[in-house]
Chains A and B, each alone.
Chain A
Amino acid sequence: MSPSSDTSVLTDMANWLQHQHNRLIVLLVMAAAAMFFPLIANNYMLEVLTNAWFYTILCLGLNIVVGYAGLLDLGYAAFFAVGAYTTGILTSQFGVNFWLTVPAAVFCSMVAGIIIGGPTLRLRSDYLAIVTLGFGEIVRIIARNLEITGGASGLIGIERPFFFGIELSQGIHFYYVFLFLAILACFVSYRLQNSRMGRAWQYVREDEDAAEAMGINRVGVKLYAYVIGAMFGGVAGSFFAAKMTAISPETFTFSQSVLILLGVVLGGMGKIPGVIVGAFALVLFPEVFRDLGSMRMLVFAIVMLIIMLYRPEGIWPRGKS
């Protein structure tokens, strides 16, 4: 489907959004809606939406790796796990204040990103996918077998954080925490996308050799994408641990990585609004169709197949040029 013949509502909407002030209006309305949503929502809806914001952060993080730099990462849950376990171990076993564990979680996921990315990013994409898949499993299995990570049963009793004297314990608190983090993730993604580094990722994604001939350090630029993506995962994991107060290795399985990747691809790789739509689709679909019982995952799969067949570039359309 060529952009010119595509006159669907979505395309019109995307073109309308190309105008700076239209975009601003939409953003303000959406931000207000997101801010005031908890006033009308019941606990269940709040929980679901919190989860959607949480996946938004993860999907935006993975989007930097997959969407911007074009690296297929099948083990993204590993960075999420590193962040969650860093916070979990530091608070539950060493009594460290939660807020201090956040930078530690970012640092650890960054180091994990460098350790795995440094030697493997020289590989071309298919091989990289296999290596990241392996890495994801390694992290989960290590967490399962070490004593400090609580073995197969995981960690419990992770302390709830305090924010200006208020204990963050209710659904509404975490709704706002994850909403704030998701907005921050959007902001950072947007700034990165429109920068020297963001363009370099796109050059490498489009033509590695030409990019290298233009003086771009292919491996270095990819490593940046990988590590920044890992840091997003680390932050999300850290707050996830605080919200759940308990984590177990089974949260960070391969299917978790696939789910996050699905959100990115479904919404539209490299497009921030698309990735948000993808993350929401991921979380909302199974909830909306809960009545279908065990059939819903089958329906979900069929819907995804249809979307991918008819919109291989994702739900979010490309603007005209």
Chain B
Amino acid sequence: MALLEVQDLILSFSGLEVIRNLSFIVKKGTIASLIGPNGAGKTSIFNCLTGFYKPDSGKINFNNRSILRLKPHKITQTGMARTFQNLRLFKSMTVLENVMSGMHCRTSAGPLGAVLHTPSQRREEELIRVVSEECLAFVGILNKKDRHAGNLPYGDQRRVEWARALATKPELLLLDEPAAGLNHDEKQELIELILHIRDELGITILLIEHDMGLVMKVSERITVIDYGKMIAEGNASEVQNNPKVIEAYLGSEDDEDSL
């Protein structure tokens, strides 16, 4: 069953088409990847999915419901969470506080409850803390919860982002280049973590990634994008042997001749 369905998506910036007639689906419970050369429009697709960009036309259905007109925070509420390509942590806040942001859309206490410390507000604060700590434990940095996020090493900052996204209790998790800047060991841990998130938490994952080793290892379905268009789709081996993909990445023979 399709959790996410993208149909004939078109996005352009002042006449320049960044995404052209793109259609793809992500099935519930799978790990899917979007790959493509630099500038192919992958992050733009994420920004459309999460409501930061408004596409010119097309359909985006999440859980059989159109999310095309929703604001980013509403989309997160419907169960889609994302991480950013360049880390976007709340740097001067603690790690725990960062992760607590994810629970915001799952809770409701307002200013009055905060001032009066009503029982329901206190219960909710406790719940936010517990869930956030669980998420930190899941990504393995619970022992750093009181550190300032900006002072952590890069690899840990990535983990804070994942924990923060998990704290929104998503059904679909969008990871934008999760392996960027990680060393070899950290990449191995990332692969395990991605599999854990799917197997233990039952969260569907869609990732954008440049690290082909990682993509081939974890993804069950790969969509290849070039110039905003889908050029191939399939599992790892199908995509690897597709001549169009090889051409997009390495350039065609014609190109070489013209050099």
Q: Interface residues, chain A, CB within 8 Å of chain B?
A: 187-188, 191-192, 194-200, 202-203, 206-207, 209-218, 224, 228, 321
For the complex, is B42 an interface residue (Cβ under 8 Å from A)? no
Distance between Cα atoms of A197 and B125 in the complex (Å):
11
Of A188, A196, A217, most B-chain CB atoms within 10 Å: A196
- Which residues from 145 to 186 on chain B have a C-beta closer than 8 Å to any C-beta of chain A? 146-148, 151, 164, 168
What is the size category of the interface that chain B forms with chain A?
A: 35 or more
Leading 6 A-B pairs by shortest Cβ distance: A215-B105, A195-B114, A215-B76, A210-B88, A206-B90, A214-B101
Q: Are A215 and B109 in contact (CB under 8 A)?
A: no
Q: Are B102 and A206 in contact (CB under 8 A)?
A: no
For the complex, is B231 an interface residue (Cβ under 8 Å from A)? no
B115 contacts across to A, CB distance below 8 A: 187-188, 191-192
Taking A195-B111, A196-B107, A321-B151 as given, write out 4 further A-B residue pairs in contact, using a Cβ cutoff of 8 Å, ordered by the A residue number.
Answer: A196-B104, A196-B124, A206-B90, A206-B93
Q: Are B104 and A202 in contact (CB under 8 A)?
A: no
- Contacts A215-B77, A216-B73; A195 near B90 (Cβ below 8 A): no
Distance between Cα atoms of A197 and B104 in the complex (Å):
9
Q: Are A192 and B114 in contact (CB under 8 A)?
A: yes
Q: Are A217 and B73 in contact (CB under 8 A)?
A: yes
Distance between Cα atoms of A284 and B148 in the complex (Å):
36
26 A-B pairs with C-beta separation under 8 A: A191-B114, A191-B117, A192-B114, A195-B111, A196-B114, A197-B109, A198-B114, A199-B93, A199-B100, A200-B104, A203-B101, A206-B90, A206-B91, A206-B93, A209-B72, A210-B89, A212-B71, A212-B72, A212-B73, A214-B76, A214-B81, A215-B73, A215-B105, A216-B73, A228-B111, A321-B94
B105 contacts across to A, CB distance below 8 A: 214-216
User: In the complex, how many angstroms separate the beta carbon of B12 from the nearest chain A beta carbon?
Assistant: 21
Distance between Cα atoms of A198 and B101 in the complex (Å):
11
Distance between Cα atoms of A202 and B96 in the complex (Å):
14
Distance between Cα atoms of A207 and B82 in the complex (Å):
15
A-B contact count (CB 8 A): 103
User: In the complex, how many angstroms separate the beta carbon of A315 from the nearest chain B beta carbon?
Assistant: 19
User: In the complex, how many angstroms separate the beta carbon of B36 from the nearest chain A beta carbon?
Assistant: 22
A199 contacts across to B, CB distance below 8 A: 93, 97, 100-101, 104
B101 contacts across to A, CB distance below 8 A: 199-200, 203, 211, 214, 216
B97 contacts across to A, CB distance below 8 A: 199, 202
User: In the complex, how many angstroms separate the beta carbon of B31 from the nearest chain A beta carbon?
Assistant: 21
Distance between Cα atoms of A202 and B90 in the complex (Å):
8
Distance between Cα atoms of A202 and B148 in the complex (Å):
14
Q: Are B88 and A216 in contact (CB under 8 A)?
A: no
User: In the complex, how many angstroms separate the beta carbon of B73 from the nearest chain A beta carbon?
Assistant: 5
Q: Are A209 and B111 in contact (CB under 8 A)?
A: no
User: In the complex, how many angstroms separate the beta carbon of A199 from the nearest chain B beta carbon?
Assistant: 6
User: In the complex, how many angstroms separate the beta carbon of B37 from the nearest chain A beta carbon?
Assistant: 25
Distance between Cα atoms of A253 and B92 in the complex (Å):
35
Distance between Cα atoms of A224 and B147 in the complex (Å):
29
Q: Are A215 and B168 in contact (CB under 8 A)?
A: yes
- Contacts A214-B101, A214-B102; A196 near B125 (Cβ below 8 A): yes
- Contacts A196-B125, A212-B72, A214-B101; A202 near B110 (Cβ below 8 A): no
Measured CB to CB, the nearest residue on chain B to A211 is B101
Which listed residue, B76, B88, B111, touches A197 by the CB 8 Å rule? B111
Distance between Cα atoms of A213 and B75 in the complex (Å):
8
A210 contacts across to B, CB distance below 8 A: 84, 88-90
Q: Are A321 and B148 in contact (CB under 8 A)?
A: yes
User: In the complex, how many angstroms separate the beta carbon of A112 from the nearest chain B beta carbon?
Assistant: 18
Distance between Cα atoms of A196 and B124 in the complex (Å):
9
- Contacts A211-B101, A214-B164, A218-B73; A196 near B109 (Cβ below 8 A): yes
Which listed residue, B84, B110, B121, touches A213 by the CB 8 Å rule? B84
B148 contacts across to A, CB distance below 8 A: 321
User: In the complex, how many angstroms separate the beta carbon of A220 from the nearest chain B beta carbon?
Assistant: 9
- Contacts A215-B102, A321-B147; A207 near B88 (Cβ below 8 A): yes
Which listed residue, A191, A198, A209, A224, touches B88 by the CB 8 Å rule? A209
Measured CB to CB, the nearest residue on chain A to B84 is A210
Which listed residue, A187, A191, A209, A224, touches B52 by the CB 8 Å rule? A209
A188 contacts across to B, CB distance below 8 A: 115
Q: Are A213 and B125 in contact (CB under 8 A)?
A: no
For the complex, is B50 an interface residue (Cβ under 8 Å from A)? yes
For the complex, is B128 an interface residue (Cβ under 8 Å from A)? yes
- Contacts A209-B52, A216-B73; A202 near B114 (Cβ below 8 A): no
User: In the complex, how many angstroms separate the beta carbon of B174 from the nearest chain A beta carbon?
Assistant: 10
